Amino acid sequence: MARTGKPAQRTVGAVSRAMAVLDAFVDSPELGTNEIARRARINASTVSRILATLAEGGLVSYNDDTGRYRLGSRLMVYGNLVHSRLDLRQALRPLLETLARRTGETTTLSAPSSPDAVTIDFVQAPGSVVSVAELGRPSVAHATAAGKVGLAFGDARLPAGRLARFTDRTIADRERFQAELAEVRRRGYAQAEGERDPDLNAIAAPVHAVGGELAAIVGVQGPASRFDSSAMKKAVHELQSVSLAMSHALGFDPELTKESE
């Protein structure tokens, strides 16, 4: 087959189902076969065979004491390889720390992915009441500030079907959400107020690479009781200043990008 220089578009169903099984563990450390089947929306007999295959490769492991599965140690090998090859974390860490000092809230750095951006670094807020960030946690595309930035400025795309509603403030209507993305592009940053977690608010902005493409997403998050609408508005200037500094650190020059358009 002739090479086109572009990635293949057709996917392998068995691999997609295996990824759905692994995704089921995102919010739970251990799961039984039937529970995985419900979350992945795959019949239990198929899930059982997938788990056997993943276990053989060390991607999941079986707990004899509980009769449930958990993610396997082989994934740590892959994760460490990814982290070791991500120069972004090392290059942008000082600026992430600066943003945390200036805002007094937890700051996050996410890698663009589709549909959900993924947290690759964070700096915890110094206060007694803090929001807890997690490495590797997906930022739900339509319900988080980082996710919205990925959709507005990157290559991320919303999955087909209904948009899940996590709280009363989640934007689940597609037409309304498209209007939200247009507003994100206009103002240059995204915000989410209790849209995935009812007590968590966040703002996020794009970090651009040399050619202007989305390289990372920087965010500020905090408990809604403290990081309310007023506090978020005050933090926007610091967020955008740091996101621009991060872009410059990666070689981005908006004037050069304009000239090439």
Q: Do 116 and 237 fall into the same domain?
A: yes
Instruction: State how far the alpha carbon of 16 is from the alpha carbons of 11, 40, 42, 161, in Å.
Output: 8, 10, 11, 17
Mark whether 64 and 126 lie in a shared domain. no
* 60 Cβ contact partners less than 8 Å away, ≥ 6 residues apart: 21, 22, 25, 51, 54, 69, 70, 71, 72
Confidence band, pLDDT 50/70/90 cuts, at residue 140: confident
State whether 47 and 93 are in the same domain: no
Task: Indicate whether 42 and 130 sit together in one domain.
Answer: no
Average pLDDT rounded to a whole number, residues 191-205 = 94
At 8, the pLDDT band (50, 70, 90 cuts) reads low
What confidence category does residue 76 fall into, taking pLDDT thresholds of 50, 70 and 90? Answer: confident
Q: What confidence category does residue 77 fall into, taking pLDDT thresholds of 50, 70 and 90?
A: confident
Mark whether 106 and 56 lie in a shared domain: no
Domain-located, residue 138:
yes
Question: pLDDT tens digit string along 25-73?
Answer: 988 899 999 999 999 999 999 999 999 999 999 999 999 999 999 999 8
Do 56 and 156 share a domain, yes or no? no
Show the tokens assigned to 239. Answer: 């967020």
Q: Is 7 part of a structural domain of the chain? A: no
Question: Which is nearest to 185 in space by CA: 159, 216, 211, 150?
Answer: 150
Q: Is residue 204 part of a domain?
A: yes
Coil/strand/helix, residue 155:
coil
Helix (H) or strand (E) holding 174: helix 174-187
pLDDT of 1: 45
Q: Cα 110 from chain centroid?
A: 6
Residue 2 in domain:
no
The answer to whether the CB of 86 falls within 8 A of the CB of 136 is no
Q: Residue 246 has what pLDDT? A: 93
Task: Indicate whether 223 and 104 sit together in one domain.
Answer: yes
Last residue of a domain, one of 30, 55, 77: 77
Residue 5 belongs to some domain of the structure: no
Domain count, the chain: 2
Which one-letter DSSP state was computed for residue 68? E
Residue 155 pLDDT class (50, 70, 90 cuts): confident
Supply angle C-alpha 100, 195, 16, rounded to 5.
100
pLDDT, tens digit, for every residue of 114-129? 888 888 899 988 764 5
pLDDT at 259: 47
Calculate ∠ Cα 9-11-17, nearest 5°.
Answer: 150
At residue 86, the pLDDT reads: 58
Reported confidence tier of residue 100, pLDDT bands at 50, 70, 90: very high
* 98 and 63, same domain (yes or no): no
Domain presence at residue 224: yes
- Final residue before a domain boundary, out of 57, 77, 97: 77
Assign residue 44 the CATH number of its domain. Answer: 1.10.10.10
Residue 153's domain comprises: 86-260
Please tell me whether residues 42 and 104 are part of one structural domain: no
Average pLDDT across the chain, whole number: 87
Structural domain includes residue 165: yes
- Tell whether the model's pLDDT for residue 223 goes beyond 90: yes
One domain, residues 72 and 101: no
pTM for this prediction = 0.68
Whether residues 176 and 63 share a domain: the answer is no
Is pLDDT above 60 for 11? yes
The rounded distance, in Å, linking the Cα atoms of 154 and 164 is 21
Confidence of residue 131 (pLDDT cuts 50, 70, 90): low
Which residues in 73-103 are b (16+ Cβ under 10 Å) and which e?
Answer: eebeeeeeeeeeebebbeebeebbebbbebb
C-alpha closest to that of 92 among 220, 245, 239 = 245
* % pLDDT > 90, the chain: 64
Q: Which CATH number covers residue 125?
A: 3.30.450.40
Which of 47, 77, 107 is the endpoint of a domain? 77
Same domain, 90 and 71: no
pLDDT at 222 over 70: yes
Answer whether residue 229 is part of any domain. yes
Q: How confident is the model at residue 132 (pLDDT cuts 50, 70, 90)?
A: low
Average pLDDT over residues 129-147: 76
Per DSSP, helices labelled H in 29-117 are: 33-40, 44-56, 74-84, 87-103
Task: Please compute the mean of the pLDDT values over residues 231-255 and round it to a whole number.
Answer: 91
